[in-house]
Amino acid sequence: MNWLKNLFRQKKTIEEVKQWLKQEQEKQQQEQKQATDALAQQFPELLTEVRKAVVNLESAELRNPNIPERAKHFMQGNREQFIKLTSKFVDNLIVPTEAPDFSENELLFQQYAQNTARPSAILSEFFGEEVKEIRIHLAAVEARLHELKQFQLRKEQLAGIEDILKQMQTVKEERSAAEKQKQEFEMQLQQLKNKHESLKREKETFTTKPDYIKVKEDIINTAKERQEAEQAITSIFLPLSDAIKKYAHQIKNEKIAKYADNPLDALIHDYALGILKHSQDIKKAIENGQLELKPERVQKALDAIKQLTKENLGGMIHRYANAKKRETDIHHDVAQRPIMKEYEQYAEDIKKTSEEIKQLEATIAKLKIPTDEELLEMLKQELEKHKIVLV
């Protein structure tokens, strides 16, 4: 049935709604002013009618004078209270011109109804017509105030629509700014990526230079020499790994146990070559089966022990120390060469650019584009009350 409802609705764009709203607010303001002015002229007369009715109640005589004195006293007390509350209530009523005025009048009516409920009910038993007359005139006042309230409600409805439109405009501006910022960030990101790729190509081209190739060869050769020296040491102790571990555990010697885990480090820090003092004991323990080695590892371990001599180990340590020093020297020397400083600058620039790319990508990912979908739905609901369909 929505299609049928839409036949009686106006279709408007946002811009048309803004024009309509301006016209409606001007119309509403004029109509409310006219209604307020009219009520301001009639209000004193309306209140006068209430006061006359109060006077009538005040001077009214009992239709049955034969009621007990106690009942008369009870009646009179409630009459005085009702008249006092009604007179004060009427004096406080005003012609509302602003939103707080309407709220104030509504609160007065609510409090009056609560405060006079009991005395009004009691007086109705004695002066039903007089109390009814007061109620009729007060109802007339309330009805006129209610009529004026409808203008105020429409004013507030239109103000609500205006507020939504202002919020949507703010969101539109924020979205435009955010999209522009995102576009700028994406341009910066692309520039950084282009720079990053360019630096990588330049670095690759740089590594083909003869001077750089010579440096790399020097570094590779010294590293290879050091690795071969390390391998020579570890290759002797590798077949002895299980035997040394079990032997060290039996004699509770942590220093010897290190030869099983890291023979290179253990040997270069074993300045007195203490391992040689245990080599024969290890051999005997292997031969006697005390270390419970697997059969295929026994002979390999015995062959390795034969190489544990002062001359052999000393030569290996010397070879490793010399290779390590040459590698350190070449790295120090290379670091001072212009060709390597230029290479390191490329590496530093590439690293820096890569970090900048990551940071900017994270910034773009966190960037939120404001949306007015929720406000748009609120606007549609408000316009629905005025039989307008947003298109």
Whether residue 372 is predicted with pLDDT greater than 60 in this model: the reply is yes
pLDDT digits (tens, 9 = 90+) for 182-194: 999 999 999 999 9
pLDDT cut 90: percent of the chain above it: 59
pLDDT digits (tens, 9 = 90+) for 131-152: 999 999 999 999 999 999 999 9
* Residue 327 tokens, joined: 């590698």
* Residue 186 tokens, joined: 């994406």
Helical (H) or strand (E) element with 389: strand 388-390
Which pLDDT belongs to residue 49?
A: 97
Q: Which amino acid is at 337?
A: R
Q: How confident is the model at residue 8 (pLDDT cuts 50, 70, 90)?
A: low
pLDDT digits (tens, 9 = 90+) for 245-288: 888 888 888 888 898 889 988 888 888 888 888 888 888 888 88
Place of tokens 């009621």: 67
Sequence-distant (≥ 6) Cβ neighbours of residue 107 within 8 angstroms: none
Bridge partners, 388 (sequence order): 10
CA distance 31 to 206: 83
Which pLDDT belongs to residue 4?
A: 47
* Residue 88 tokens, joined: 């004060």
Q: How confident is the model at residue 359 (pLDDT cuts 50, 70, 90)?
A: very high
